[in-house]
Amino acid sequence: MTQVITPETLILLPGDFCILVFKALDVDFPDQARVEIGAQTSSWMNIGWEHEGQRHAISMIGTVPSVPFEVMCADGQFAQIGPARSMTPDIKKLAEAVRFSGGPLGDVFQLLRATIDELANSEMTEVLMRFLDLTAEHSGFVEIAALPETGGLFLQGWSNPEIAQDYTLLTGTGEVSAACAGFAREDLIAPASGFCLYARNHPETFLKTKSVFLWRNNDLRRLDVLPELPEPMRAETANDHVRMMLPRLSAKPSVMAQFKRVCRPRFRGQDTLSAYDGPVAVGLDRVLQAEGGLFVTGWMLDPLAQIDLALIKSTSNLYAPIWPDAHSLHRPDLLEAFAQDPRFAGLLDPSETRNGFLCFVPAASAKVSNSEVYLELVLQDGQCLFLPITPRKCRDLGAAHAVLNAVPRHDPALNSILARHVAPFLVGLTAKASESRSQMIPMGEPYEPGQRDVAALMSMSKPEDLKPVFASLSNTAEAHQIELIVIIDDTLDPQVVSTLQDQFLFHGLTGGVVSCAKHMSQAARLDVAVGVTKAEHILLWGPQALPQTTGWLDLLRQEAACLPAPGLVSPLLSYEDGSIHFGGQRMAGRPAQAISQLAGFNRTNRDTLHKVEVSAGAHELALIDRDLLIEVGGIAGRLLGDKYTHHGLGARLRQHNAAAWCTPQVEFWMLPDQATPQQSGASSFIDNVDAAIISHLSVPQKAIVTL
């Protein structure tokens, strides 16, 4: 049988909301629910509490109930809510009900605040302030107000009892944290005392309020503002007043630290660090700016540990502590450089060489550009030292060498340095513009640019590498569809170009040769080739992959045309013995070493009917629309090496709501793996950098999709 419960009072609120007041309950209402009231569905929010052995509750409903309704209780049973014994629009009834039954004032306040957020109603704000006025304990008066240079609101007055804690400052439009400290006053009798309050983030409406409400652990207090409150002190005058009060204040260290921050000296545009005569020296070797932050390297000598805080700040509210996020670097050269400096005489420990540092400082461009940026050192004695900084703006990855030169490549924490400091900076740089000053040397029969709509891009180290590919294209339909662009080192013998011309003519191929600087990555060279063709589609082709059948290009284009959205598609790659080289792979976080999860399995283990979405296409062969490739930042993107080129390209495709796919409808042979020279330390380092960049850019993988 459904239990019928009668509310004591129904309190009408603006916007058709209402509150039901219950007492002496023997059921436990849900905190949140949806209830059916006649033909309407309404929200239900409830706060319940125990007082003197009885259960009380208040429930807010999004409509005024015109008929009884049911709500499911915590025990799974339904209770019917009948008509209230009384109805009123006066919030005083709610205040009395909560106060007299020991209710949680703070929780009720938050419930009313949630209604304001939903309604954006000024009448509801007045109701809320009226509730605070009726329920808060009057504890004192505000006699002085100030607006320090550091921002925030400073209030001073007296209270009974003392307030010297962290509080939340309440208004009808929001809540902000406030630090409160007490001080002795001869005109007051204990437990009354003076107080100072500082709220760093305050709305301007606080200056127009008649009362200040403080909330802590369900303790709600009201401080009335004197009607004759003087005009608030501002800027340096306000700072001087707080500085004068500081020695008199008493509170826990974390609270006092907030008042001390108000009193700190302000940056006036001058270098005060260089003139400091104590044993502190700091230098910044590089401060580079990219979209999203700064890359900072430097050193710091502080043998007596006088520095409490080291900050990168700006006049546009950048606030970035260097420690503890910075990574320490060995700088033994500093010990010798400062050995004769009288400030450090006998203070430098010859075994302590980790005096350098590097760090990434997250910083929105608006907080750095057109602002004064500076280093601020806060010393233990309260002094502040300043050093103006001029960040050097970096636009593209041409600035990468300046970052990488600062990274200790044999540091055990190398991967952490790359992930926390290097990658976040490098991803804020744009992909380096391709060096397209090289012109394509035409090969084969003459043709008009744009006449072929597929450009096959292929890197070559020696002409012999291309013989199998040329042979596979000879006298085929693909030979008449493809513009074949071969990319060579600009250091190769000019005779190589003549040899290639002969090969193009012999096999009936059309295209050209592009020469690129030897230091460029393969991916960067491919981007140069993309820039010299007008073809609509780009085929990235490695000479170690050979088609198994004719008509493969038409099939691959058909598969690309059937994708749910524009993307990249690669064929299945396998060896003569049937083992798979590439059959689709997935990646989470740091790129894996294996080219494919199916590498080494027999092709019979692979679904041969459906194409599958993969995290990265095959290095050896992939087809993509030229416009999409340019939109996502080219082939190299923000990567510096070649090992993870397709991992990076796959990540950027996903960021542009595209994807990479593998189709078994087209299959290529893989030539036996060639012996590769041992990777140099520099190449390994670049691979680690690229892996960190991809991990930083990667988005969570979606569930596997087949078509």
| Cβ(573)–Cβ(668) below 8 Å | yes
pLDDT higher for 211 or 296?
296
The least confident of 171-185, 337-351, 493-507, 574-588 is: 574-588
SS3 623: strand
Give the pLDDT confidence score for residue 62 in this predicted structure: 85
Residues 657, 662, 664: CA angle, nearest 5 degrees:
150
Give the pLDDT confidence score for residue 541 in this predicted structure: 95
CA distance 700 to 321: 30
Q: What sign results for the dihedral spanned by CA atoms 55, 59, 64, 66?
A: negative
Pairing status of strand 86-88 against strand 9-12: parallel
pLDDT band at 704 (very low <50, low <70, confident <90, very high): very low
Residues 138, 109, 255: CA angle, nearest 5 degrees:
65
The letter for the amino acid at 694 is I
pLDDT value at 206 more than 70 = no
Give the pLDDT confidence score for residue 271 in this predicted structure: 95
CA distance 560 to 61: 54
Model confidence pLDDT, tens digit, residues 53-106: 899 999 998 888 888 898 888 777 888 899 999 999 999 999 998 988 888 887
Give the pLDDT confidence score for residue 600 in this predicted structure: 42
pLDDT value at 628 more than 90 = yes
> Which residues, in sequence order, are CB contacts of 351 under 8 Å at separation 6+?
none
Number of C-beta neighbours around residue 31 at 10 A:
12
Record the tokens describing residue 151, joined without a space. 């921002």
Model confidence pLDDT, tens digit, residues 394-420: 988 888 889 999 999 999 999 999 999
Place of tokens 């004769």: 340
Record the tokens describing residue 413, joined without a space. 């924490």
Cβ burial, residue 611 (10 Å; 0-12/13-18/19+)? buried
Residues 400, 406, 411: CA angle, nearest 5 degrees:
120
> Which residues, in sequence order, are CB contacts of 422 under 8 Å at separation 6+?
295, 360, 403, 404, 407, 689, 692
pLDDT value at 27 more than 70 = yes
| Cβ(629)–Cβ(538) below 8 Å | yes
Alpha carbons within 13 A on the beta-carbon side of 504? 22
Give the pLDDT confidence score for residue 1 in this predicted structure: 58
pLDDT value at 588 more than 50 = no
pLDDT value at 450 more than 70 = no
CA nearest to 106, candidates 235, 240, 214: 214
Cβ burial, residue 591 (10 Å; 0-12/13-18/19+)? buried
CA nearest to 583, candidates 573, 592, 575: 573
pLDDT band at 452 (very low <50, low <70, confident <90, very high): confident
pLDDT band at 169 (very low <50, low <70, confident <90, very high): confident
Give the pLDDT confidence score for residue 597 in this predicted structure: 47
| Cβ(121)–Cβ(172) below 8 Å | no
> Which residues, in sequence order, are CB contacts of 677 under 8 Å at separation 6+?
none
| Cβ(69)–Cβ(80) below 8 Å | yes
pLDDT band at 700 (very low <50, low <70, confident <90, very high): very low
Model confidence pLDDT, tens digit, residues 91-115: 999 999 898 888 888 788 878 877 7
| Cβ(539)–Cβ(635) below 8 Å | no
CA distance 689 to 682: 11
| Cβ(646)–Cβ(619) below 8 Å | yes
The least confident of 139-153, 318-332, 349-363, 680-694 is: 680-694
SS3 223: strand
Give the sheet arrangement for strand 32-37, strand by strand. Answer: 32-37, 40-51, 54-61, 18-25, 9-12, 86-88
Residues 134, 137, 138: CA angle, nearest 5 degrees:
100
Give the pLDDT confidence score for residue 638 in this predicted structure: 85
Give the pLDDT confidence score for residue 678 in this predicted structure: 53
The least confident of 536-540, 618-622, 677-681 is: 677-681
Q: What is the mean pLDDT of residues 625-641?
A: 91
Record the tokens describing residue 145, joined without a space. 């107000």
CA nearest to 456, candidates 535, 556, 379, 355: 535
pLDDT band at 552 (very low <50, low <70, confident <90, very high): very high
CA distance 297 to 320: 14
Give the pLDDT confidence score for residue 121 in this predicted structure: 60
CA distance 278 to 648: 49
pLDDT band at 433 (very low <50, low <70, confident <90, very high): low
DSSP labels for 37-51? ETTEEEEEEEEEEEE
Give the pLDDT confidence score for residue 701 in this predicted structure: 38
Q: What is the mean pLDDT of residues 299-319?
A: 94
pLDDT value at 592 more than 50 = no
The beta-carbon contacts of 49-56 under 8 Å, at least 24 apart in sequence, are 49/101, 49/102, 49/103, 49/104, 51/101, 51/102, 51/103, 52/102, 54/23, 54/24, 54/25, 54/101, 55/24, 55/25, 55/26, 55/28, 56/22, 56/23, 56/24, 56/25, 56/97, 56/101, 56/103
Q: Helix 122-135 crosses helix 92-100 at what angle (to 10 degrees)?
A: 40
Model confidence pLDDT, tens digit, residues 215-264: 887 788 899 999 888 888 988 899 999 999 999 999 999 899 889 888 88
Q: What is the mean pLDDT of residues 131-159?
A: 90
The letter for the amino acid at 524 is A
CA nearest to 430, candidates 403, 400, 397, 402: 397
Give the pLDDT confidence score for residue 589 in this predicted structure: 44
Give the pLDDT confidence score for residue 318 in this predicted structure: 93
CA distance 37 to 214: 38
Give the pLDDT confidence score for residue 118 in this predicted structure: 61
Kind plus residue range of the DSSP H or E element containing 9 = strand 9-12
DSSP labels for 51-78? ETTEEEEEEEESS--SS-EEEE-TTS-E
Q: What is the mean pLDDT of the chain?
A: 86
SS3 534: coil
CA nearest to 359, candidates 280, 427, 425: 425
> Which residues, in sequence order, are CB contacts of 254 under 8 Å at separation 6+?
166
